[in-house]
Amino acid sequence: MAAAAAVVVAIAIALPNVGDGGKQRAAEDAAASVEAQAAQGGARANDDVAFAVEDKNYDEKALQQLVSSSADTASSEQAPFAGALTDPAAVRCVERAVPDEAIGRLSRVIQARFQRRAAYIGLYLESPGAGQQPDLVAAWVAARDDCSFLSAAFAKI
């Protein structure tokens, strides 16, 4: 009887650790996958992302003007966006807010406000196909506090 009780106690102690170990391994595997993707350039991440901090509060109209002016710049210059390289956290935040269906190369991140909320604005250059010149500029707005999607605007180049 005592031996059976000892086995039950041993199993009760071991079972919670088995479950936690599986969760720990899954978390470690997920983190390793994210690191590997980042090391390979990621699905959308780019080392050449320009970064700017603006003391400006964008609204829908100002966002559309930003995208239109960026489209004009992109059509007249080879490298449309210049600036310091961005903080990878800002890139991840914008990419988290962008829908999976979105395509293009993130070229610039602007730290500003959107409708009085702290935000990142990611400017993407989109092309109709692989190896073709971009024909669209897309702006995706992410809230800085939780990286949620706030708005988007588009302009043809």
Q: How far apart are CA 137 and CA 104, in angstroms?
A: 9
Residue 56 has what pLDDT?
Answer: 97
Residue 24 has what pLDDT?
Answer: 47
Smallest CA-to-CA distance from 51 within 102, 114, 111 is with 111
Q: What angle do CA 82, 78, 104 make, to 5 degrees?
A: 80
Task: Report DSSP letters for 102-150, one per residue.
Answer: --SEEEEEEEEEETTEEEEEEEEEE-SSTTSPP-EEEEEEEETTT--EE
Residue 82 has what pLDDT?
Answer: 52
Residue type at 57 in one-letter notation: N
Residue 28 has what pLDDT?
Answer: 44
Q: pLDDT digit string (tens) for 122-136?
A: 999 988 887 888 899
Contact between 142 and 120 under an 8 Å Cβ cutoff? The reply is yes
* Per-run averaged pLDDT (10 residues), the chain, 157 residues: 54 50 44 38 55 96 95 61 70 90 85 98 88 90 97 94
**Model confidence, pTM:** 0.66
